[in-house]
Amino acid sequence: MHVLILGGTTEARRLAGLLHGTPGLALTSSLAGRVANPRMPPGEVRVGGFGGAEGMAAWLREHAVDVLVDATHPFAGTISFNAASAAALAQVPLLALRRPGWDPVEGDAWHEAGSLEAAARLLPGLGRRVFLTTGRMGLAAFAHLDDLWFLVRSVDAPEPPYPARMEVLLDRGPFTLDGERELLRRHRVDVLVTKDSGAAATAPKLTAAREAGVPVIVVRRPPVPEGVPEVATPEAAARWVMRHPVPGAPPRNTP
């Protein structure tokens, strides 16, 4: 049984760890290659794109993939639609592993935006010193805001275009609540911009913002393909994979 995980997330690595070493199961994780030094999952790893849905379908056929799991980032966008099309073309079962998004709680001052561009339009009315945690991609949406100062946190250094008044903090989660409190205080942050990526590793910034009375612009998640079965945890995904029948193969025990 050959399982391909479209990964790059904490959940994808956890799923690979649950499945790795299972007798009779071959495991491959695919990483997009956008991070210079990614955290590698166990098992075989391929890096780079497939060349669209048809290229992915060809890879599925060529490598005799039996099950495909889309465990990409909630904002990966295009890859999920390519996976749905490729799975249909290659007639391979597809599961989506998607972490739940964040929900506001009492005391939060959230402002929803449908895109990075919409978030940029909201900023001038909310603050002047911005903690931007949307990653290094898409900074062009904020490049014209010359009157604002940005603290940009990302794993790798961003490339232009980006805001003229900007300090870059190279770091990756998990982040602590005390650390996030100190960042807001030291840099005198008065507005936070984040994507609704979910996960506990980056959630402390929301708590720190709530405590400090800092408004938060939350960029909503992009749409996902319809009709794809979905689970919220790596454990549920592992059970789904192990329950899935492969023609000609005996049933496998659920981990």
Could you report the per-residue pLDDT of 65-94, keeping only the tens digit for each?
A: 999 999 999 998 799 999 999 999 999 999
Count of the separate structural domains present in the chain: 2
Q: What is the mean pLDDT of the chain?
A: 93
Whether residues 211 and 235 fall in one domain: no
Q: Which domain holds residue 207?
A: 110-219
Instruction: Check whether 113 has a pLDDT greater than 60.
Output: yes
- pLDDT bin (cut points 50, 70, 90) of residue 36 is low
Q: Average pLDDT for residues 49-78, to the nearest whole number? A: 95
Whether residues 92 and 123 fall in one domain: no
When computed from its CA atoms, the radius of gyration of the chain, rounded to whole angstroms, is: 20
Residue 137: inside a domain, yes or no? yes
Q: What is the CATH number of the domain that holds 83?
A: 3.40.50.720
Whether residues 56 and 26 fall in one domain: yes
Residue 75: inside a domain, yes or no? yes
Residue 248: inside a domain, yes or no? no
**What is the helix, strand, coil percentage profile of the chain, to 5?**
30, 20, 50
Is 162:141 a contact under the CB 8 Å cutoff?
no
Residue with tokens 């900007």: 166
Whether residues 176 and 214 fall in one domain: yes
Whether residues 171 and 202 fall in one domain: yes
Q: What is the dihedral of CA 84, 85, 88, 92, to 10 degrees?
A: -50
pLDDT digits (tens, 9 = 90+) for 174-227: 899 999 999 999 999 999 999 998 878 789 999 999 999 999 999 999 999 999
Residue 249: inside a domain, yes or no? no
Token pair, residue 175, equals 């982040």
Burial class (CB in 10 A: 0-12, 13-18, 19+), 37: exposed
Q: What percent of the chain clears pLDDT 70, i.e. is strictly above it?
A: 95
Whether residues 136 and 229 fall in one domain: no
For residue 191, report the phi and psi dihedrals to the nearest 5 degrees.
Answer: -160, 140
Residue 251: inside a domain, yes or no? no
pLDDT confidence of residue 171: 93
pTM of the model: 0.88
Instruction: Check whether 248 has a pLDDT greater than 60.
Output: no
If you write DSSP's letter for every residue of 119-147 in order, what string do you get? HHHHGGGT-SEEEE-S-STTGGGGTT-TT
Residue 116: inside a domain, yes or no? yes
Residue with tokens 């995904």: 237
